[in-house]
Chain A
Amino acid sequence: MTDTEVVVVGGGSTGCGVARDLAMRGLDVTLVEKGNLTHGTTGRMHGLLHSGGRYAVSDQSSARECIAENRVLREIAGHCVEMTGGQFVQLEGDPDEYFEEKLAGCRECGIPAEVLTGQQARAEEPYLTDDVKRSIRVPDGAVDPFRLCVANAASAERHGARIETHAEVVDVLADGDDVFGVQVRHDSGPGKREHARTGERERITAEYVVNATGAWAGQIGELAGVDVAVRPSKGAMVVMNCRQVDTVVNRCRPKGDADIVVPHETTAILGTTDVEVEDPEDYSEERWEVDLMIDELSALVPILREARTVRSFWGVRPLYEPPGTGTRDPTDITRDYFLLDHAERDDLSGFASIVGGKFTTYRLMAEEIADHVCAELGVSASCRTADEPLPGSEDFTVLREYMDEFGLRSPVGRRSVQRLGSRADEVLSTDGPNPVLCDCEAVTRAEVRDAIDQSGTDLNAVRIRTRASMGNCQGGLCCHRMAAELHPEYGEPQARAALDELFEERWKGERHALWGEQLSQAALTYALHATTMNRDRDPADGASVEYAAFDAGGADGD
């Protein structure tokens, strides 16, 4: 008897999608992720729900998959998707032939595409430059990768799966040529993350192991003694303070860096670059990348030049190409995905890797690998993930109408219900008062507590579930409020450690936006935390203080 039927390694969109799919087919699944969910590339992507338009010329099979999955996700993940629509914009001087190819490509792939005149394009997107010649309208959208991933994991759990975050695979267990499980190291636990609790090691045996570690797939492959040649390629994204655009704006040019702006919640995100890196976790984040985004994309949307950015972040694409392809330029490596059956490829049974691909098609990738695993294990059950809505997206439209019921001011209520979807009722109905903790993103105490229930003391996991601390102030005004919600369920030292961790994480991205308004914002945050709270010299962290040496109060008895 094994501990579980299938171990899925990696809690990104692919891993969570595979776990949900297999669990819905009745298999006993354990997912292990070394960070929080979306710790990898999934938490560091651009947020574009592809229409397929971007691949309509270069990679039509991907384009077809994208438009199909785009339609599926609108149905099953309504609370994670915003159908903004998008445009491929041709500026004066951009090649006509490419525009025509793009249009033809979209039509060949079944992507609804409509040509807009320059004037129509600007009517739709008023901040576009005057230099717009014309554009192609496509059904691009915005997707929240955090919410979608968490919903997949929640659905998997509802179907009996075990989801372990902060559980790193440190060894793949093999008996000769058969993989029979993994060895994991828990940060704390097993169970929910808890700062200051020492973790255990655990052997999890299984009939099948799925390597869904994206850009890290080579490392897991190595633990199993097989070669998985992922070529990680980094991309930079710059987050703006507000939605300068309400639709996805793509530059209609063959290929290039910094050619797309995606509206996302309260922000717009500029992207991106494509530079191959050695290590998916250790690469440089550079000034030129930030400057390039702003300089290039302000040709498309001029107000971006003077607009405020709140942070930048980088993600690493898990690009893969079959051995021997040898593509030089990473931008030319296919965006397609590959299922590597190590039994067939390396004579190692019970083990498969899934690499490449993109977020938009995660469900399809998951379906393919789940089919494969079921075939290997002799299970006959069919995939239902395209039909069953995710938790939060059930009866969503009905709920939207009740959103004023939670005693919240309407802008707050609206944002909360958009995030929570059909879970709003369950989360927002509380006994006590429900104040807003994060003003920038309108996140209330009830949402933060709900997220803590799911993820323990990991405030970054709370952040991705709620968006708290992701707005203009980058957590300066709310990090400590979020940490306070951990107490008294968790101890003060744990709340302190969790706060420090979140604060550093926020700083990591905000550093890249330090000029103008955001530098003033950062100076305010620094003052609030260092001066008002004295968190930089917290005596609880450092040397003991000789209290008797200080003023104990005035002689006047006050």
Chain B
Amino acid sequence: MAIEDDVAVVGGGIAGMTAALAAAREGATVRVISHKDSTLRSASGLVDVLGYPPRSGGSSGDSDASESPAGDAGPLADPFEAIPDLPEDHPYTAVGLEGVRAALSLFDEAVDGYRGGHTDRNALVPTHGGTVKPTARYPASVAPGLASDPRETLLVGFETVTDFDAPLAADHLRAAGVPFEVRGVTVRFPGAFRADARVTRLADALDADERLEAGDDPSGVSTSLPARGALAAVVKPRLGDAERVGFPAVLGRHETPSIRADLEAELGAAVFEVPTGPPSLPGMRLEGALRGACRDAGVRFTTGDPVAGYETGADGEIAALRVERNGAAIPFHAESVVLATGGLVGKGVDSDRESVREPVFDCHVPHPADRYEWFDDDAFGDHAFARFGVATDGDLRPLDARGDPEHANLRAAGGVLGGYDFAAEKSGAGVSLATGRAAGRAAARQVSDS
């Protein structure tokens, strides 16, 4: 029997799942077809909306966008204020300020355990590199660590969690002028883990509150303690006057609230996570939460195989997607399609020495002809590659080289879109949410209209 859905979403990252959720809420039957892990496995789990105004702003097709960056301008306190002034080709322009706000409302309502919705202001979150960065929504486990909160802070690193050096991060935060006292210590994670144990292994131990070897007691008998208690016991003597304690993001995959509650009870101080990754546990938790929300809304998932091509109907619209499974192409029929395959990281945008392309529908991706214009000579310069992706009309339909929609029933969302450098402006998840919601809704409405 043929597989038939109203809306098919290609890609199961934050953009694809948001699109699916929005479409399902419009009453459409929705399927997400996703190949591999999404970028959330690597990303911090923070939802940035806009942390800095974009650089002087050229589109990716235009190589003289290399004038000075936004300079030393500090972070935006209010991301929403700046959105109406964004360039024409920025994805936020397609959805408008109201689109961004509506997407955040959808997110706040669908995903438990995030904070930041009580204000329009950005929050400054301490990073594992010791800087602070502006974001709009953050996991509850990150909330007590915000840099504008003046409480004295202890950062705790683990000898074998090499991405987070707590004493160095503490010194760095001080150099960044944070308004609180901060110290860092490095301790050994309790138990007999290998030096190269993954952070997910430590998280599992905390989730299950596994009994861990706690060394020998004075009588020489080896003792074991539950993981959470053992961890608190290691940290407690170092607490001093700190009112909050920050750990790298290893506090469980699923049981983060109870792990934090247990640690807080033992330590008598607030406990927070400093986002780390890859692999990013906060990102994985967010992925799980979004998936749960989609399932609740009736979205179906087909995972593990790529969409390798498509079929068109007589009208040039997409009629079916071809999913490649064990060498065979299986058609998935849909009335309307959302492309949410991610950017260069998610493999939604691909390139070779000559050109840049969108591999599933072969949508046009504007880019300079010479690959030596794809990058800037400074590592943090104004990279054209960072803005690679499809260009769309106001309805998020990808445009071909002439500026016409590639297909009337194809929309794009998230990382696969061009025209913004999420890393420089800190807008990644925000663009995925806003364009995901808009694309999903439009796709569902197109189905109900026809």
Contact = CB atoms under 8 A, between A and B. Distances in A.
A432 interface: yes
Given A514-B385, A531-B423, A536-B424, A496 B146 contact: no
A256 interface: no
A551 B160 contact: no
Given A432-B159, A533-B127, A545-B176, A527 B121 contact: no
Nearest to A499: B129
B172 interface: yes
A445 interface: yes
A516 interface: yes
Given A534-B131, A545-B74, A435 B160 contact: yes
Interface string B107-129: 00000000110110111100111
Nearest to A531: B423
Contacts of B146: 550-553
Nearest to A434: B195
A433 B72 contact: no
Contact of B178 (A432, A519, A547): A547
Contacts of A503: 379
Contacts of B303: none
B383 A526 contact: yes
Q: How large is the interface on B (under 10, 10 to 19, 20 to 34, 35 or more residues)?
A: 35 or more
Interface stretch (B80-88, B311-319, B368-376): B368-376
A520 interface: yes
- The number of chain A residues touching the other chain, given as a range, is 35 or more
Interface string A508-552: 000100111001101110111111111111111011111111111
Nearest to B257: A558
Contacts of A522: 375, 385
A533 B129 contact: yes
B260 to A, nearest CB: 10
B265 interface: no
B216 interface: no
A514 B171 contact: no
B159 A435 contact: yes
Given A515-B352, A548-B179, A554-B143, A537 B162 contact: no
A514 B162 contact: no
A553 B141 CA distance: 12
Contact of A433 (B132, B174, B176, B188): B188
Nearest to A507: B379
Interface string A77-95: 0000000000000000000
Contact of A491 (B77, B171, B385): B171
B124 A433 contact: no
Contacts of B411: none
Nearest to B77: A549
Contact of A532 (B51, B275, B386): B275
7 contacts: A287-B372, A435-B196, A493-B175, A516-B352, A527-B43, A538-B129, A551-B146
Interface of B: 42-44, 48, 51-52, 72-75, 77, 115-116, 118-119, 121-124, 127-134, 140, 143-144, 146-150, 159-160, 162-163, 165, 167-168, 171-172, 174-179, 188, 195-196, 275-278, 343-345, 347, 350-353, 370-372, 374-375, 377-380, 383, 385-386, 422-424, 426, 428
Question: Closest 7 CB pairs between A and B?
Answer: A533-B129, A534-B133, A492-B171, A484-B165, A551-B123, A523-B344, A507-B379
